[in-house]
């Protein structure tokens, strides 16, 4: 067992020494689809998510990253022919694992990503008919979610 650990450490150090480390920072803009469970007649709500992200990779096709996002979520519902909605605003911290296609330096590189998302409730408001109500106290201040998506990296200029 000791020999196996030594071999794994030596191989890992050799890979790290020869790997090209890549650190990138940039904006994130996206769409999310959310629904609150256990609410009858509810439909998915489409919302905006935006912020900034940081991605680190020392392997050509794999990376790890995190983001800080402003995210609008909630639900749409119809009760007795009256349409309503609940809008929840979160500060989200998604941690993601990335799979990149193509090679580093390509002008266009598609990617897939997935990982947990930690949300901190900033605001909650319900609107039914003509009335708006602050409902923040009715929701947990912390939310755990899953982030799954696809995207691409596009070269704008050398190093960008």
Model confidence, pTM: 0.71
Q: SS3 for 52?
A: strand
The domain limits of the chain are 21-154
What does the alpha-carbon distance between residue 73 and residue 49 come to, in Å, rounded to a whole number?
A: 9
Token couple for 143: 């939310």
Q: 23-27, 120-124, 132-136, 138-142: which range is least confident on average?
A: 23-27
When pLDDT is averaged across residues 54-68 and rounded to a whole number, the result is 91
Looking at residue 159, its pLDDT comes to 62
What are the phi and psi torsion angles at 47 (to 5°)?
Answer: -135, 175
The DSSP string of 77-117 is EEETTEEEEEEEEEEEEEEEEEEE-S-TT-SEEEEEEEEEE
When pLDDT is averaged across residues 126-142 and rounded to a whole number, the result is 90
pLDDT in tens, 20-32: 568 888 898 988 8
Across all residues in the chain, what is the average pLDDT? 82
Contacts of residue 144, defined as CB under 8 A and 6 or more positions apart, other chains included, come to: 116, 117, 118, 119
Looking at residue 10, its pLDDT comes to 42
Topology of 21-154 in CATH?
Porin (2.40.160)
pLDDT in tens, 5-17: 344 344 444 444 4
Rg (CA), the chain: 21
Closest residue by Cα to residue 95 from 59, 123, 63: 63
The answer to whether 115 and 76 have CB atoms below 8 angstroms apart is: no
Output the CA torsion sign for 160, 103, 63, 101: positive
pLDDT in tens, 71-109: 998 888 777 777 888 899 999 999 999 999 998 878 899
């Amino acid at each position: 067992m000791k020999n196996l650990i030594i071999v794994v450490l030596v191989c890992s150090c050799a890979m790290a020494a020869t790997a090209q480390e890549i650190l990138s920072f940039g904006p994130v803009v996206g769409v999310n689809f959310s629904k609150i469970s256990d609410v009858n007649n509810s439909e998915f709500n489409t919302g905006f998510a935006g912020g900034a992200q940081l991605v680190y990779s020392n392997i050509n096709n794999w990376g790890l990253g995190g983001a800080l996002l402003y995210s609008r979520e909630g639900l749409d519902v119809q009760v007795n022919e009256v349409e309503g909605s609940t809008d929840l605003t979160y500060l989200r911290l998604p941690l993601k694992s990335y799979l990149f296609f193509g090679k580093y330096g390509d002008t266009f590189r598609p990617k897939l990503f997935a990982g947990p998302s930690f949300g901190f409730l900033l605001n909650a408001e319900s609107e039914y008919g003509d009335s708006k109500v602050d409902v923040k106290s009715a929701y947990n201040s912390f939310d755990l979610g899953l982030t799954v998506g696809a995207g691409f990296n596009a070269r704008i200029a050398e190093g960008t």
